[in-house]
Structure 1
Amino acid sequence: MAVLNEEQEMLRDMAREWAVNESPVTEFRKVRASGEPEAFNRDAYATMAQMGWAGIIVPEAHGGSDFGYMSAGLVFEELGKTLTASPLLATTIAASAIALGGSEEQKARWLPKLASGEAIATLAVDEGAAHDPAAIETSVSGGKISGKKTFVHEAHGADLFVVAAKDGLYLVENGAGVTLTTRKLTDQRSHADVTFDGAAADKLAGGGDSLLDDVLDRARVLTAAEMLGMAQQVFDVTLEYLKQRVQFNQVLASFQALQHRMADLFADLAQMRSAVEAGLQAVDSGFGVARAATIAKAEANRVLHTISNQGIQLHGGIGMTDEYDVGFYLKRARVLEASWGSSSFLKDRYASLGGY
């Protein structure tokens, strides 16, 4: 487990307290029941921004705290535990792209708005059914961008899209030339196919040829942090259930076979935490980011998939009902596992990074 400084501990505790008291899973149920395409509570997001969470990775010169990716990961972990629906993750990823590749003018225009919660942004990369940043056909001509992006997270609330084109990343405001088609995924969050038809585009000219890969690595690590919180919560809830549920006049937790299963999950969870925290630390240090981010997301995919499955199985038939929260974690898990790289994609990427 990572060693946190006093400020990071305070940030984690604040996020945990707010998530438990102000954004429990019952709040997600309300968002789901509303049926609104944005699929988040704007008042709750405004509160997150007021607490400084939207500006954790934004430089102080542009209204943020520049507190680092480990600190951001602590917040996402706590929000993942309660399935808090918000565009915070999408906005943080987009902000990282601007911080890495934006001009001073672009940074001055957008980063303060993102850090304050005045604006919401998201990253639009993929154009097919699966994550494949090498298969991009979106193009820009005369400052106008044309193409279609699939499964864009938090698209309905976005004021700004960071869009991957053949020749780099571009900033595109949500307006003329931008059309959204809602995609309903199993997690009931905001997803859309976004079509750009001659929309005005402003290129992120900095960051070098690796800008897209660098941004995607940050997306993978931050997403893995949310997945870590989800995995921890499913484990804790399932363990508590086994301690209370009685079968054959015995508490389920007394059965050795179930004890072994929970022990295996505990070990998996520890390994996942190690990988995710190593990824966050790598981004903060700037050393070995690509490999660490790939491992973090791959382990998050593997472990959350296993724990979410076992959570359902160990709850028995009631785990499949809407009355119990555990099913929501499995549904969100499946969406996040496919985001920014499936397990097979990440294994191939790790091999290629090693020259194989």
Structure 2
Amino acid sequence: MALVLNDEERMVKETADGFFAAEAPVTAMRAIRDARDPMGFSRDLWAKMAAMGFAGVAVPEAHGGTGLGLVAAGLIQEAIGRNLSLSPFLSTSILAATVLARGGTAEQKESFLPRIAAAELVMALAVDEKPRHAPAHVETRAAPHGNGFRLSGTKTHVLDGQVADRIIVSARTGGEAGSRHGISLFLVDPKAKGVKVEARAMVDSRNAARVHLDGVEVDGADLIGPLDEGFAILEAALDAGRACLAAEMLGVSAQSFETTLQYLKTREQFGRPIGSFQALQHRAAHLFCEIELARSVTLKALRALDEGDMRAPVFASLAKAKVGDVAKLATNEAVQMHGGMGMTDDYDVGLFMKRARAAQETFGDSAFHGERVARIMGY
């Protein structure tokens, strides 16, 4: 498995880098944040992403997407990380599209996948119920009712939940909380009776919500995948999301590093650029090596997922844990080397730090993924 990009992938990377730098730079993120836009992203940008083929990157060609796969999705997500661009790409184009492509019925695929590729709707995945990521800890219940089910429970940290046109909810149809068996996936209309969506402010200015379900009625056509056996589909979607989040954190790390290098070359102390000080050179060299390691493990995870490698879950967890740690190091070093000014809002490096912290916790931190790898390997 080559850990270098082929010609097609390099073209995707160049296109994505140019697109987000021009259409959704950090200044655009600041404008949306400062305006307190309840949408949390630009619909115009989302439409442009569809026109570029980005929104349908994980949607099969048979359903209107480009079907380029997760390596391409990761390259797009890396460009998003470099520019702190705001969009529902992760929630809709990666998580929801993967769930539907893997477990959806023919009718569900035909109804939703082309609309995802065309950026005509936003979808969210409601998984977690505890303060920290624990996808198997599902207490939300789906009780049989007529030709369908009634859902009751609460989901936390639902990315883009407050602007979603549909929410994919994990609910327990059997077993006990913590068991992987007995988890089923359902499509829920957020406007349905019994659904209450609470917007939550996040430190990185992204969308997230708490979703309350009180006897929400869904029918059999809203079930995604086999009854009681939805966890495998859910894990596949989460691994895609984890690998793409690793790619985004790689972009955050690389841009933080490059911004800091420019600062080291221009900021003077004692009559010379501070980049000439050996101690800072050593720290920069160490960070460069860590970012290159993060790049390799991220590409490995994305390729493994695209190729259906049985070890893909291990690589996805390894990438999420490693790049999370590197993003923390990169943003810490960026703020430190900028001095006290690094934490002021006038400098972008503080914004990169906030995004790195939120992304590191989303879908499992390094402790969660270390335990997951150990469990998969039989320890």
What's the counterpart of residue 29 of structure 1?
A: 30
How much has 1:7 moved relative to structure 2? 2.6
User: 2: CA distance between counterparts of 1:293 and 1:225?
Assistant: 11
User: 1: CA distance between counterparts of 2:89 and 2:236?
Assistant: 19
Structure 2 unaligned residues grouped into runs of 5+:
173-182
What's the counterpart of residue 322 of structure 2?
A: 299
Given candidates 153, 156, 163, the residue that maps to 1:147 is 153
Given candidates 220, 224, 233, the residue that maps to 1:211 is 233
Q: 2:251 matched to 1:245? A: no
User: 1: CA distance between counterparts of 2:216 and 2:265?
Assistant: 57
How much has 1:9 moved relative to structure 2? 2.0
What's the counterpart of residue 106 of structure 2?
A: 104
How much has 1:208 moved relative to structure 2? 6.2
Q: 2:357 matched to 1:334? A: yes
How much has 1:2 moved relative to structure 2? 3.5
Given candidates 196, 211, 214, the residue that maps to 1:197 is 214
**Shift in alpha-carbon separation, 1:88–1:30, aligned structure 2, 3 A:** same
User: 1: CA distance between counterparts of 2:52 and 2:6?
Assistant: 19
State percent identity of aligned pairs. 43
Q: Which deviates the most, 176-185 or 333-342? A: 176-185
- Preserved CA contact (<8 Å) 2:98 2:236: no
What's the counterpart of residue 160 of structure 1?
A: 166
Post-superposition Cα deviations, 1:303-351, rounded to whole Å, max 9, x if no partner, equal 0011111110010011011101000011111111110001111110010
* Secondary structure at 2:55 match in 1: helix
Q: 2:86 matched to 1:85? A: yes
Post-superposition Cα deviations, 1:278-300, rounded to whole Å, max 9, x if no partner, equal 00001001101110100010011
Q: Which amino acid aligns with 2:223?
A: K
Post-superposition Cα deviations, 1:119-170, rounded to whole Å, max 9, x if no partner, equal 1111110012110112110111222222111111111221111111122221
Q: 2:187 matched to 1:171? A: yes
User: 2: CA distance between counterparts of 1:247 and 1:228?
Assistant: 30
* Secondary structure at 2:15 match in 1: helix
- Preserved CA contact (<8 Å) 2:341 2:347: yes
How much has 1:5 moved relative to structure 2? 3.0
How much has 1:173 moved relative to structure 2? 1.9
Q: Which amino acid aligns with 2:81?
A: G
Structure 1 unaligned residues grouped into runs of 5+:
none
* Secondary structure at 2:185 match in 1: strand
User: 1: CA distance between counterparts of 2:19 and 2:327?
Assistant: 24
Q: 2:139 matched to 1:123? A: no
Q: Which amino acid aligns with 1:222?
A: C
Q: Which deviates the most, 54-63 or 36-45? A: 36-45
- Preserved CA contact (<8 Å) 1:168 1:212: no
Q: Which runs of 4+ in 1 moved over 4 A?
A: 206-209
Instruction: Give the structure-1-normalised TM-score.
Output: 0.97
Instruction: Give the structure-2-normalised TM-score.
Output: 0.91
Q: Which amino acid aligns with 1:265?
A: L
User: 1: CA distance between counterparts of 2:214 and 2:3?
Assistant: 46
Q: Which deviates the most, 118-127 or 201-210? A: 201-210
How much has 1:214 moved relative to structure 2? 1.5
Count of aligned residue pairs for this structure pair: 356
* Secondary structure at 1:277 match in 2: helix
Q: Which amino acid aligns with 2:111?
A: R
Q: Which amino acid aligns with 1:122?
A: A
User: 1: CA distance between counterparts of 2:27 and 2:231?
Assistant: 44
